[in-house]
Amino acid sequence: METQLAIGILWFVAFLFSTTVHEAMHALVAWKGGDPTAYHGGQVSLSPIPHIKREPIGMLVVPLVTALTQGWAMGWASAPYDPLWAERHPRRAALMAAAGPAGNLLIALVALIGLKTGLLLGVFTAPDRAAFHALVADAAGTATFFGSLLSVLLVLNVLLGLFNLLPLPPLDGFSVVTIFLPEQQAHRLRQIQTSGMTSMIGLLIAWRVFPVMTRPLFSMILWLVHPGQSYG
């Protein structure tokens, strides 16, 4: 499980699954909220195929290339929605936006429970040296397939969920903020979000800010998995 190829493939599969859940959650909540656009596009599905068809570069090409060359996967995806529906129902649109990161954090919670259960039962043990793909080890101190899979799912989905919750356009967090605002201000923020230039600036800021947060987030994840361990 330690070869770069195996780790890369694991990251790609985890990314494909996690991103599919993220977009399916967007599509499901929009459909339940009165916008069937993504539903008619096939995005209310845990099959990655309709999501790949919509974003083949972001869902397939880029994550596969980065996974095999860098040992971790990055990419993007999207679910269609009706902007007029979002304009009429800003609260529902905000809930739709929150649903994607919520799906990622739910996956992370399930992965954390799986890791903690394995540690409790003695299936896993704390590794001598923790990594994004190796939060646990077997009795011999080496990474296992299921331990690595759960590790990647936990780390990836915490990062995906929290990155998308940054309150910057065009990320989900910018829309989520409108849940807590008066309707008039929510409408104004949605107008800002539709600006291409604003979205580009928001993404640039996010890509500068989030890497600074990665190491503290990983330290937090390690503490959750091994509260009694100390890793330098």
Please give the Cα distance from 209 to 206 (Å, whole number). 5
Q: Tell me which of 14-23, 192-201, 202-211 is least confident.
A: 192-201
* Percentage of the chain exceeding pLDDT 70: 97
**pLDDT at position 3:** 83
CA–CA distances in Å: residue 29 to residues 34, 43, 79, 117: 9, 11, 11, 31
Torsion sign over Cα 205, 70, 160, 134: negative
Q: Does the N-terminal peptide bond of residue 50 adopt cis geometry, omega within 30 degrees of 0?
A: no
Largest CA distance in the chain: 60
Cβ contact 175:93 at 8 Å: yes
- Tens of pLDDT, residues 29-81: 999 999 999 999 999 999 999 999 999 999 999 999 999 999 899 999 999 99
Distance CA 119, CA 25 (A): 30
Q: Confidence class of residue 232 from pLDDT cuts 50, 70 and 90? A: low
pTM of the model: 0.93
Backbone angles phi, psi at 190, to 5 degrees: -65, -35
Whether 195 has a pLDDT exceeding 70, the answer reads: no
Average pLDDT of the chain is 91
- In order of 122, 170, 203, 210, the CA distances from 196 in angstroms are 52, 9, 11, 21
For residue 142, is pLDDT > 70?
yes
Residue 101 has pLDDT above 90, yes or no: yes
pLDDT: which is higher, 138 or 12: 12
Average pLDDT on 15-23 reads: 98
Q: What is the structure's pLDDT at 194?
A: 66
- Taking the C-alpha atoms of residue 69 and residue 23, their distance in angstroms, rounded to an integer, is 25
Q: Which of 1, 227, 231, 226 is nearest to 126 (CA)?
A: 226
Q: What does the domain layout of the chain look like in residue ranges?
A: 4-225
